[in-house]
């Protein structure tokens, strides 16, 4: 029996959700690792699939009651194999971190070594000894990094890899401005007899759109990724592979190794996103990169220290800005949030890890969500102006927030999808 206190708590939860929707509808979201799903995806995320189990493979389940979901997962797998041109696809990981961990479990044994990027150089926590690699019992070595070029220092990296003899050469990362030297590492992997893996979490949509390197075509053994950054699907993970001989190991690592049920409503939403990217992926990816370059150029012209001017700032959806002279990433990102501009503080390669945890030198900005809401280069120039008003001019954040709210209210429709609709439709509980 519900009591008065329970009802009061229920209403607080509901009202908080509504408040969140209202606030975020008034914000400019520049978090590089976030995106928004289409109305069609949201519809299936709220479906009865969210209550059900489907352990095993389509049409070979360990549970009954899956005859309709079997059709959806089989279709999603077929779509994914076609879209990514992959021999093998696994849609079951619940996150990009889980996809990375599955690769570690499938391809390594405890005590093996993985070589990857460090966190300040752009590596993800899931490949660290304090993260997923450590859970697997792996030793972690780091690629030498060229701070000016914001990429792996190829000659030094090849030399170090030959010295440490890792089991996995892991490319990709959380900071990903420019393509990595996949072909050269393919040659090294063959020389050493080791695996070449690639974390495409941030650039998966750009790969589909043909505006970034295609790691499978360049010789990577296995690609792990999330499905909700430049690829605008529901939050989850995916594994792609060019080698059928690795399929059994990868399958076992994911199920029953790391997951039981794989959240069926998420797979249904992913199937719709695959259809959307099949139709609109090229145009969407081109617009994401065009906007990132426009935002970077505008910020640079306004006096910000945007990294890699000599290389055109970026070839992806991300840009990095050194804001150390403006108080550091924590201070600047905090002020921007008060002005309804959402981004994240981010370490830069010259930061020490203890600084990175507190007040790193940089902020990271990304364009997947603003692009999906229909913004273009002219809007990027306006966003840069808002950022300048807050971070350089010191304009009151409340005043900027009101201006940002009026600006954001013009961009509420999701684009590049099968059914356009409101991006921030408020929950109206009755």
pLDDT digits (tens, 9 = 90+) for 172-207: 999 999 999 999 999 999 999 999 999 999 999 999
Rounded mean pLDDT, 285-313? 98
**Residue 260 · residue 55 · CB < 8 Å:** yes
Helix, strand, coil content of the chain in percent (nearest 5): 45, 15, 35
Q: Cis before residue 256, ω within 30 degrees of 0? A: yes
Residue 356: the pLDDT is: 61
**From residue 181, how far is each of 119, 141, 204, 213 by CA, in Å?**
19, 18, 17, 10
Domains of the chain: 42-276 (3.40.640.10)
CB neighbour list of residue 256: distance below 8 Å, 6 or more residues apart: 55
Under DSSP, is residue 311 helix (H, G, I), strand (E, B) or coil?
Answer: helix
Alpha-helix runs per DSSP H in 165-263? 182-192, 204-208, 247-252
The alpha carbon of 77 is separated from its chain's Cα centroid by a whole number of angstroms, namely 20
Pairing of strands 232-241, 88-90: antiparallel
**Per-residue confidence (pLDDT) for residue 320, from 0 to 100:** 98
Each residue's pLDDT tens digit, 133-154: 999 999 999 999 999 999 999 9
Torsion angles phi and psi, residue 195, rounded to 5? -90, 145
How many Å from the N-terminal Cα to the C-terminal Cα in the chain? 20
- DSSP H or E run through 326: none
pTM here is: 0.95
Helix ranges, 85-153 (H):
96-107, 132-135
Is 400:26 a contact under the CB 8 Å cutoff?
no
Residue 280: predicted pLDDT: 98
CA atoms in the 13 A half-sphere facing the CB of 262: 32
* pLDDT at residue 19, rounded to an integer: 95
What value does the mean pLDDT take over residues 11-32? 95
Average pLDDT over residues 400-404: 98
Q: What pLDDT is attached to residue 419? A: 83
Per DSSP, the three-state class of 57 is strand
* Confidence (pLDDT) at 420: 79
pLDDT confidence of residue 423: 81
Compute the C-alpha angle 423/427/428, nearest 5°. Answer: 135
d(CA 262, CA 271): 14
Query: Of 317, 322, 335, 307, which Cα lies nearest the Cα of 395?
Result: 335
Are 417 and 280 in contact, with CB atoms under 8 Å apart? yes
The rounded distance, in Å, linking the Cα atoms of 374 and 410 is 10
412: confidence class by pLDDT, cuts 50, 70, 90: very high
Q: Exposure pattern of 339-369 as b/e (b: 16+ CB <10 Å)?
A: bbbbbbbbbbbebeeebbeebbbbbbbbbbb
CA distance 420 to 417: 6
**Model confidence over 61-85: pLDDT tens digits?**
998 999 999 999 999 999 999 999 9
Half-sphere exposure of 277 (CA within 13 A, CB side): 29
Indicate the pLDDT class of residue 364, thresholds 50, 70 and 90: very high
User: What's the rounded Cα separation, in Å, for the pair 260 and 136?
Assistant: 19
**How far is it, in rounded angstroms, from Cα 199 to Cα 203?**
9
Confidence of residue 430 (pLDDT cuts 50, 70, 90): very low
pLDDT above 70: residue 281: yes
In this predicted model, what pLDDT tens digit does every residue of 31-61 receive, in sequence order? 999 999 999 999 999 999 999 999 999 999 9
Averaged pLDDT score across all residues of the chain? 95
Task: Assess whether pLDDT exceeds 70 at residue 391.
Answer: yes
Give the list of residues 6+ apart from residue 343 with CB closer than 8 angstroms, or none. Answer: 30, 31, 333, 336, 363, 364, 365
């Amino acid at each position: 029996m519900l009591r008065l206190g329970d009802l009061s708590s229920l209403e607080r939860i509901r009202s908080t959700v509504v408040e969140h929707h209202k606030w975020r509808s008034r914000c400019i979201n520049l978090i590089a690792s976030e995106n928004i799903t289409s109305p069609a995806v949201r519809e299936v995320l709220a479906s009865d699939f969210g209550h059900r189990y489907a352990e095993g493979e389509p049409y070979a389940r360990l549970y009954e009651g899956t005859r309709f979901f079997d059709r959806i997962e089989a279709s999603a797998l077929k779509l994914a194999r076609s879209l990514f041109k992959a021999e093998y696809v696994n849609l079951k990981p619940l996150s990009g971190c889980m996809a990375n961990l599955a690769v570690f479990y499938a391809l390594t044994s405890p005590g093996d070594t993985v070589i990857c990027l460090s966190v300040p150089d752009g590596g993800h926590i899931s490949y660290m000894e304090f993260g997923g690699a450590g859970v697997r019992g792996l030793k972690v070595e780091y690629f030498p990094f060229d701070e000016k070029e914001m990429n792996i220092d190829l000659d030094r990296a090849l030399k170090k890899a030959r010295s440490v003899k890792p089991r996995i050469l892991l490319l990709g990362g959380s900071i990903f401005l420019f393509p990595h030297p996949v072909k050269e590492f393919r040659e090294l992997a063959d020389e050493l007899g080791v695996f070449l893996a690639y974390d495409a979490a941030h650039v998966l949509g750009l790969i589909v759109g043909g505006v970034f390197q295609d790691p499978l075509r360049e010789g990577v053994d296995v690609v792990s990724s999330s499905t909700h950054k430049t690829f605008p699907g529901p939050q989850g993970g995916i594994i792609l592979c060019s080698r059928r001989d690795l399929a059994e190991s990868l399958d076992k690592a994911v199920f029953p190794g790391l997951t039981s049920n794989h959240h069926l409503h998420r797979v249904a939403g992913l199937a719709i996103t695959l259809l959307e990217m099949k139709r609109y992926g090229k145009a969407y990816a081109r617009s994401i990169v065009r906007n990132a370059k426009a935002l970077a150029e505008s910020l640079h012209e306004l006096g910000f220290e945007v990294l890699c001017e000599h290389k055109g700032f970026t070839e992806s959806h991300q840009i990095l800005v050194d804001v150390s002279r403006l108080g550091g990433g924590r201070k600047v990102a905090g002020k921007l949030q008060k002005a309804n501009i959402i981004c994240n503080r981010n370490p830069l390669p010259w930061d020490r890890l203890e600084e990175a945890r507190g007040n790193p030198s940089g902020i990271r900005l990304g364009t997947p969500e603003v692009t999906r809401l229909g913004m273009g280069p002219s809007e990027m120039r306006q966003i840069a102006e808002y950022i300048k008003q807050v971070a350089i001019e010191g304009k009151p954040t409340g005043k900027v927030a009101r201006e940002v709210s009026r600006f954001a209210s013009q961009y509420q429709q999701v684009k590049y999808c099968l059914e356009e609709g409101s991006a921030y439709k408020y929950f109206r509980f009755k």
